[in-house]
Amino acid sequence: MKGSAGLRSRRFSHRATHCRRKPLATVGRLRLGIAALGICALIAGCQRQEETPEPLPLMVRAQKVEIADYAPTASLTGVIAAQTLDNLSFRVGGRVAQRMADVGQHVDKGTVLARLDPQTQQSDLTAAQANLDAAQAQLRQASAAFDRQKKLLGQGFTTRRDYDQADQSMRTAQASVQGAESQVANAKENLSFTELRAGVSGVITARDVEAGQVVQAAQTVFTIAEDGDRDAVFNVQETLVANTPAAPPVTITLLSNPQVKAQGKVREVSPVIDPASASVRVKVAIPNTPATMPLGASVTGSITAQPRKAIILPWETLTANDGKPAVWIIDPETRRVSMTPVEVLAYDTGIVVIDRGLEPGDVVVTAGGQLLHPGQAVEVAENAQ
């Protein structure tokens, strides 16, 4: 009985152990299955990656970098002005009795522009004339007395002393007449100064006088732009002046009518720089100024600066990297692009002038760079370089 019971106990124990091990084997097989699936998925993914083709190169246009002379042409706006301005003033003070000219009027040399009340100067002339008349009367008397003494001295009826006194009196009277004549001349001149006449022929550009106004001597009351050649006056940036030849030809064009042109030459460059605008006043002489370029007319002046070595590229070449100018460069071996920062010297019509950042022989993208990224493969269009 004991033996039979022991046998049953071992069988039961074996079946129990067998039952406990079966789930563990199932879990193991499940893990192996999952791992196998993962490996298969990985292999499939690798196969799909290997099967994905590389993007086709982007078609671009390119240009080989070359050094060239760059001479920028600058166009500035200015005005026509007279080369010579004549400031007129009365040479004596007084009250203005009449004004006969105004701004914008063309006057000839000698034209009366204004008159002062001549009462004071006329009174001075009358008094000077009276003094002259009296001096001349004294001279006539002294001359007659001298003639008598001279005749009597020859006859022996007078003394040498009386003769000398008569001679001295006559000479004194002559000097008095000369002084009175000078006073009359001065009075007449002062009377003429009550009329203000144009010293040159030209156009009145300023007036600071009205009838009834009291003016002082040497106070400017009229300004006349003298007839003749004109200037075109420009305010030029200091940097442009520094890079401009000493005597560049300047093409002057009337702003209201571009068909009217003239050639000018720099006549004067101000030594003073305007601190507010950092500009310099430049006057360009215009020989034989066209009549259709009147005073005050707006004009444009075109000048060409001193040439310098630089790289000139189409403006489409330029892109930006972190807000700074840059260009795409093509590696000739790999045909892939990289972005290179550059320093821009100038922006001109349709072009950009590069100062630094590129070397002669570099191949840069000039069109089609909007979709590029570093390392992008490109294909250069035929006849693009």
Give tens-digit pLDDT for 282-313: 999 999 999 999 999 999 999 877 788 889 99
Instruction: Considering only the C-alpha atoms of the chain, give the largest distance between any 2 of them, rounded to a whole number of Å.
Output: 218
Which of 97-101, 188-192, 233-237, 275-279 shows the lowest per-residue confidence on average (mean pLDDT)?
A: 275-279
Which of the four pLDDT bands, split at 50, 70 and 90, describes residue 135?
very high
CATH domain 230-304 topology: Elongation Factor Tu (Ef-tu); domain 3 (2.40.30)
* Average pLDDT rounded to a whole number, residues 73-79: 88
Which residues are CB-neighbours of 102 under 8 A, at least 6 positions away? 204, 207
Question: Closest Cα partner for 283 from 268, 272, 295, 271?
Answer: 268
pLDDT at 128 (0 to 100)? 97
C-beta of residue 112 within 8 angstroms of C-beta of residue 100: yes
CB atoms near residue 28 (< 10 Å): 10
- Range name among 174-178, 195-199, 239-243 with the lowest pLDDT average: 239-243
Domain spanning 58-70+308-380: CATH 2.115.10.20: no
The CATH fold assigned to 87-117+195-225 is: OB fold (Dihydrolipoamide Acetyltransferase, E2P) (2.40.50)
Q: How would residue 337 be classed by pLDDT, with cut points 50, 70 and 90?
A: confident
Find the DSSP H helices in the chain: 2-51, 119-155, 160-192, 238-242
Domain boundaries, the chain: 58-70+308-380, 87-117+195-225, 118-193, 230-304
- In percent, the amount of the chain with pLDDT more than 90 equals 52
Contacts of 366 (CB under 8 A, 6+ apart): 60, 61, 62, 63, 313, 314, 316, 317, 384
Give the side-chain half-sphere CA count within 13 A for 331.
11
Average pLDDT, the chain: 84
On whether the pTM is more than 0.85, the answer is no
pLDDT of residue 6: 45
118-193: CATH topology: Helix Hairpins (1.10.287)
Q: Are 261 and 252 in contact (CB under 8 A)?
A: yes
C-alpha span between 36 and 246 (Å, rounded):
86
Choice among 17-26, 141-150, 375-384 with the minimum mean pLDDT: 17-26
Residue 91 pLDDT exceeds 90: yes
Under a CB-based contact definition with an 8 Å cutoff, are residues 295 and 83 in contact? no
Strand (E) or helix (H) holding 324: strand 324-330
Q: 10 falls in which pLDDT band (50, 70, 90)?
A: very low
Is 284 within 8 Å of 234 (Cβ atoms)?
yes
Print burial letters for 35-56: b (CB count within 10 Å at least 16), e (below 16).
eeeeeeeeeeeeeeeeeeeeee
CA 340 to chain centre: 34
Of 113-122, 156-165, 266-275, which one has max mean pLDDT? Answer: 113-122
